[in-house]
Each structure stands twice: as C-alpha cells, then as structure tokens.
A and B are shown apart, each in its own frame.
Chain A
C-alpha cells in the first residue's frame, strides 16, 4: 500500500461513492496508519471508525478510521465549526509487510495511471514547521487527475468549506491554495515538493477545489491541507524510514591527555547527530591519572589502618 493509491472510506463499497486517494503512510505513536482527507470518511471532522477499502486487494478492508478530531466552535463570530486541518488517520489492519512506508506511487505526469511497479517517489522530508515559501512549486497525486504540479499561491488560509451542496460546513483554519488540476477522487492525495530526482518532502494532502462564478467554472482554485496543521490535529508522525529517525550518535571531542598540574583549563565538546527532538546534555566522568583526584582518593582509601 502506497501513498497515491485509491481508497474507499465512509461507505460500504458499491463502486460508486467515496473514492479518495491515500495521502501517505505514517507511524503515529507506534500505530501504522495512512493519512487522507477527513471529508473522505462518512463523518466530516468526526471520528466514525469507518472501514477503508482499496481496489487492489479484492475490496478487502485494509484499515479503520482511527483519529479524526472533532471540530470546535470557531473563535470568530457566526462561523460555525472549525478544524485546523481536513485530515484523518486510518489505522491499518493489514500486515506491515504490505505497507510501503516512505513511498508514494509515481504515475506519469498528468496521467491517472498509478503504476507502482515502474516508478515511485521516496519521502525524505516533511514541511512540519512551515509550508514552503509562497510561489514555490508543489506537486500532487490523485486517482482522478494523476500527477500534477503548480505554484503555491497562498499559505495557511482559513476557508469555509461545505461537504457537498447543502452538506455540513466547516472552516478549515490552515489550508494552502495552489495552482494545479484536481477533480473528484483526488481528495486526500499527497502534496509535496520535489527535493531531488525522485525524493520528495511532504507539504500536506489535497483538500478540494473552489470554482466561480455563477455555475461557470471560470476561475478554479485548488486547496491542500498544510502538513503542520495535520500534525497539530493527528499528532507528530514519522513519514520515512527508519522510524525514530537516524540512529543517535554522540562523541566527545577535546584533549584526551592533560599534563600534570595543567592550569590553562580544558574544553570538551559533545558532537551529537540523529535521534529525535532537541538534545539535553549531562556530563559524567571520573578524573584519573597519577596526579589527579582519583589518585588522591585512592591514597586516602589506602591509608594504613592504625595498629
């Protein structure tokens, strides 16, 4: 299972309704999940434990909605319910061997054919502190419009979305507008920057489109949910292997041999890489040598007992 694959959630499969795109696979608090749009499940911005299906595994259930926080009263007047993101996490019920973590299917440009056997993108990063600068080029993959790209036109906008005509209304507080092509079924698909060759950094997932005016789609805008907002709603997540990040390594640089009675002072530095989060340092050690404290202590310990 890869990012960019089709997924059906929110309805028992009937081949007609509920088609969306898997955004990306991730691990949240040790749970193997995929992330897609909240509005792809039956209850928009509400946990409903929907079962998710994928066409490629004979319509067997692959996952169940696991995290989709409830909307809250918008902090500005007369605006109904709000959420930071339009995203939900579905926890896989299938073997981890069937989940391609850190992989997004790569179809040919502007095609709807996703052929994972031929080509993939490797996820190497996530824009979790901020979106890319405005006017950067973003790419996305969906099961309807395939592989598309265009400029990022606005970041972290608040937009009042409706789930289909007359449906429930939610203001999503942090969506990005980008110039691209999308259609029904592309919701939830991965949105990313290309870092190098086939390596990508995730910027979020596809949300939907707006079009105006008066029934004639003259101007069409496309929107994606920001990655930072997704993590704020669903929790911090690992999106590339190895989970837990690169291994923690630490070494201490500085003099290893200090002359006796050296009075100029010595400095040692900790060089740390990998691991997770910020580092804290706790220095432990034991001075040694013929003229050091250790020797003096030993001398005291070795004082002859009084007869």
Chain B
C-alpha cells in the first residue's frame, strides 16, 4: 500500500509539472494563425476526424470554436479556451456535455469546471495533427502521435530520439508553429505475453 501511495504521489507531482506547461501569463489567442501548407490525404483526415475516443472533444469544439481541450486536476475539470471572453458560454456548454460514462443509475457528483487560457484551439491542433502525421509518420524513429489536451500541444512519440532533428526539419516546412509540437521518447513499443 505504501508503494502504491508513493506512486500516486509521484504521478501527482508529474501532473502538477505538466499543468505548469499551460502558463496563463505566457499565452495569447492563436485563432488567427495560418493554415497548414502540406496536403493531407482525405482518408487520413476522415480517420482523424472520426477517432472514437475524441467524440466529446469534437462536440465541444463544434459548440465553441475557442475550446482548447480539458483535463482533470485535483478538484476541478479544467477547460481551456483561447478566448477568456467566452468563458461563461464555454462553461455552460461544458456543463451540459461534461465527460461522464454511460452508466446504470444516477451519475456521481461531478467536479466544478475551471476555465483557463489556452494557446491553441482543439480545432487547430486537430488540423495540424493531420499535417504533422503526413510529414513525420514515415520517418525513422517515429513511434506514435498524440493530441495532448492537458499540454495543449501535439506530441510526437520517438523510439530513441535519433530521428528528432529530421522530424523538426520536415515540420519546419509546414506552417505549424514550432511551440505547438513537443517530442517525447517512449522507447520501442513491444507487446508482451508470457
């Protein structure tokens, strides 16, 4: 049990550190950034636009284009927006659609909603994801990709980091802002059974 609580504590520290990445003072509205320049295959865009685990994110983005994503912190559901002037309307939309499981019986009580400044909208990140995948998925060292709601960024997963420079170079030709993408080494993803 002690080891378990220690692990939770470590993860909590990590969450706090990640949360600090969304620094309200350093952020500004980014809705006017230019669109991508690379061509995205329609089939890729169709797959990405229909990822089953992002249904609610898409609904919130459709309801309020300033929506940047959401995540849980210690006592609230944090919702990011690029336009704090829309905080109350976004709060109302999120309240109506808030993430919850389909469940038997009544839902448990929910966390209060906290609206915070984000740098990019979910819609921007989703559009740039298709561009970035087109440019880097075929390069050596590519291990995966994520649209990270908490960090309000795109994340390229790398096997060992050897391909990061090539990927940065490939993406520099696109109009995706440099700070919209981060790189994370995850090792070689191997599935194991006994």
A contact residues vs B (CB 8 Å cutoff): 10, 16-20, 37, 39-40, 44, 74-79, 84, 86, 109-110, 124-137, 144, 148-151, 153-165, 171, 173-174, 176-177, 179-181, 183-185, 187, 193, 195-196, 201-202, 207-214, 219, 221, 223, 226, 228-229, 231-232, 240, 245-246
Contact in complex: B137, A76 (CB < 8 Å) = yes
Contact in complex: A125, B41 (CB < 8 Å) = no
Contact in complex: B55, A130 (CB < 8 Å) = yes
**Known contacts being A125-B101, A130-B56, is A150 close to B11, with CB within 8 Å?**
yes
Residue pairs across A and B with Cβ atoms less than 8 A apart, 24 shown, are A18-B193, A19-B194, A44-B191, A75-B43, A79-B142, A109-B1, A124-B105, A126-B103, A134-B70, A134-B150, A150-B8, A153-B14, A155-B54, A157-B157, A158-B145, A159-B186, A161-B191, A163-B190, A185-B194, A193-B101, A212-B185, A212-B186, A212-B188, A213-B161
Instruction: Select from chain B the residue with minimum beta-carbon distance to A169.
Output: B189
B19 to chain A, nearest CB (A): 8
Instruction: Select from chain B the residue with minimum beta-carbon distance to A124.
Output: B104
| Alpha-carbon gap, A16 to B7, bound state (A) | 31
B149 in contact (CB, < 8 A): yes
**Chain A neighbourhood of B105, CB < 8 A:** 124
Interface string of B1-36 (1 = CB under 8 A from A): 101100110111011001000000000000000000
Q: Add 7 more A-B contacts to A134-B150, A164-B191 (CB < 8 A).
A: A17-B193, A75-B41, A124-B105, A129-B102, A134-B71, A135-B15, A180-B7
Contact in complex: B133, A76 (CB < 8 Å) = yes
Per a CB cutoff under 8 Å, which of B10, B146, B150 touches A157?
B146
| Alpha-carbon gap, A195 to B46, bound state (A) | 34
Instruction: Select from chain A the residue with minimum beta-carbon distance to B3.
Output: A110
The 10 A-B pairs at the shortest CB distance, nearest first, are namely A125-B103, A212-B187, A78-B138, A156-B53, A159-B144, A228-B52, A125-B101, A130-B56, A75-B44, A201-B101
Contact in complex: B71, A128 (CB < 8 Å) = no
Which B35-63 residues have C-beta < 8 A from chain A?
A: 41, 43-44, 46-48, 51-57
**Chain A neighbourhood of B72, CB < 8 A:** 132-136
Contact in complex: B160, A213 (CB < 8 Å) = yes
B96 in contact (CB, < 8 A): no
**Known contacts being A151-B11, A208-B192, is A127 close to B101, with CB within 8 Å?**
yes
**Known contacts being A134-B72, A136-B72, A226-B53, is A159 close to B189, with CB within 8 Å?**
yes
Per a CB cutoff under 8 Å, which of A75, A110, A174, A211 touches B4?
A110
**Known contacts being A75-B41, A128-B102, A132-B99, is A159 close to B157, with CB within 8 Å?**
yes
Per a CB cutoff under 8 Å, which of B12, B101, B191, B192 touches A86?
B191
| Alpha-carbon gap, A125 to B55, bound state (A) | 17
**Chain B neighbourhood of A195, CB < 8 A:** 101, 103, 108
B107 to chain A, nearest CB (A): 8
**Known contacts being A185-B194, A208-B192, A226-B52, is A133 close to B143, with CB within 8 Å?**
no
**Chain B neighbourhood of A156, CB < 8 A:** 51-54, 146-147
Contact in complex: A164, B15 (CB < 8 Å) = no
B174 in contact (CB, < 8 A): no
**Chain B neighbourhood of A159, CB < 8 A:** 143-144, 157, 186, 189
Contact in complex: A196, B102 (CB < 8 Å) = no
B contact residues vs A (CB 8 Å cutoff): 1, 3-4, 7-8, 10-12, 14-15, 18, 41, 43-44, 46-48, 51-57, 70-73, 77, 99, 101-105, 108, 133-134, 137-138, 142-150, 155, 157, 159-161, 185-194
| Alpha-carbon gap, A159 to B145, bound state (A) | 6
| Alpha-carbon gap, A10 to B47, bound state (A) | 30
| Alpha-carbon gap, A130 to B122, bound state (A) | 15
**Chain A neighbourhood of B155, CB < 8 A:** 154, 157
**Known contacts being A134-B71, A174-B53, is A77 close to B187, with CB within 8 Å?**
no
**Chain A neighbourhood of B53, CB < 8 A:** 130-131, 155-156, 174, 176, 226, 228-229
**Chain A neighbourhood of B102, CB < 8 A:** 125-129
Contact in complex: B144, A124 (CB < 8 Å) = no
**Chain A neighbourhood of B55, CB < 8 A:** 129-130, 228
| Alpha-carbon gap, A219 to B143, bound state (A) | 15
| Alpha-carbon gap, A173 to B147, bound state (A) | 12
A210 to chain B, nearest CB (A): 4
A290 to chain B, nearest CB (A): 45
A159 to chain B, nearest CB (A): 4
**Chain B neighbourhood of A232, CB < 8 A:** 52
| Alpha-carbon gap, A117 to B175, bound state (A) | 59
B81 to chain A, nearest CB (A): 16
